[in-house]
Amino acid sequence: MEKKTPRELILKTLKEKSCMKQDVYANTLSAFTLLKNTAKELTQELSKETKAIDKRVVIEYREKGEFEFELRVAGDLLIFAMHTNIFEFDKSHQVWKSSYIKEDNFRTFCGMINIYNFLNDSFKYNRINDLGYVIGRVFVNKENHYFLEGKRQLGFLYNDFVHSVIDENAIKAVLESAILYCLSFDLFTPPFDAIKEISVLDMQSVSESMQIKTGKRLGFRFQADNDSID
């Protein structure tokens, strides 16, 4: 076999890998756009239905740019953010065990959409020390196959990378599961030992912007919130 020159190898890599990454990016952006549109529709539907129950409960969609949007669901804030780069999974990741991946290693290259959960009041009152959590990550590959890494139902309902293709029904299911998870992921009182000392600066800040750190699992390891459904 004739040895390829560096230039030929560069062009070969660009043709195979770089073009493939462009396809992955396009698929991920398309999925994120669909996610936005579905979120808008779902928010309108839930808001209308919720007002009939209690007008104090707010559900709304907030556009934050091409690669980010927010869903406020009562006291929770879900932030959906698409990363603009393409990632490959580490060789130790479970996806490599699949025959689907072994047939074509390029199928492991994925775009990523992160799902974060914060308290809405953290942003409303500019509590910059408050904590949020990544509750899920949606991965989309060149063939529009997807799976989701996440907590509880987000982690095991959407992990069939071999057969799952991203579409409107899949997007809606992921959205509803993310909302359900956040509503069941409640705010815990922090352990007394974690807050028994407070600085003068922190105390002075309380009246201005409530800077005492708050988070749903403050003082606990988030990993301790196991993946089982209660």
Q: Which CA distances in Å does 32 have to 37, 81, 83, 181?
A: 9, 9, 10, 20
Considering the domain boundaries, does residue 229 fall inside one?
A: no
| Average pLDDT estimate for 168-174 | 94
Q: Which CA distances in Å does 141 have to 27, 146, 150?
A: 7, 7, 18
Considering the domain boundaries, does residue 172 fall inside one?
A: yes
Give residue 114's domain range: 10-224
pLDDT of residue 222: 40
State the chain's mean pLDDT as an integer.
85
221 pLDDT above the threshold of 50? no
Considering the domain boundaries, does residue 3 fall inside one?
A: no
> For the chain, what percent of residues have pLDDT higher than 90?
62
86 pLDDT above the threshold of 80? yes
Which of 14 and 191 is assigned the larger pLDDT? 14
pLDDT of residue 188: 67
Classified as helix, coil or strand, 209 is helix
pLDDT of residue 31: 97
Q: Is 172 exposed, middle or buried (0-12, 13-18, 19+ CB in 10 A)?
A: middle
DSSP annotation of 47 = H
Which of 168 and 150 is assigned the larger pLDDT? 168
**Domain count within the chain:** 1
229 pLDDT above the threshold of 60? no
Q: Is 39 exposed, middle or buried (0-12, 13-18, 19+ CB in 10 A)?
A: buried
Which of 12 and 205 is assigned the larger pLDDT? 12
Considering the domain boundaries, does residue 4 fall inside one?
A: no
Lowest mean pLDDT among 61-70, 143-152, 176-185, 210-219: 210-219
Considering the domain boundaries, does residue 230 fall inside one?
A: no
150 pLDDT above the threshold of 90? no
Strand order in the sheet with 68-73: 59-63, 68-73, 76-82, 111-119, 133-140, 146-150
pLDDT of residue 146: 96
pLDDT of residue 155: 65
Considering the domain boundaries, does residue 5 fall inside one?
A: no
Classified as helix, coil or strand, 122 is helix
Model pTM? 0.83
Q: How many residues does the chain have?
A: 230
pLDDT of residue 185: 77
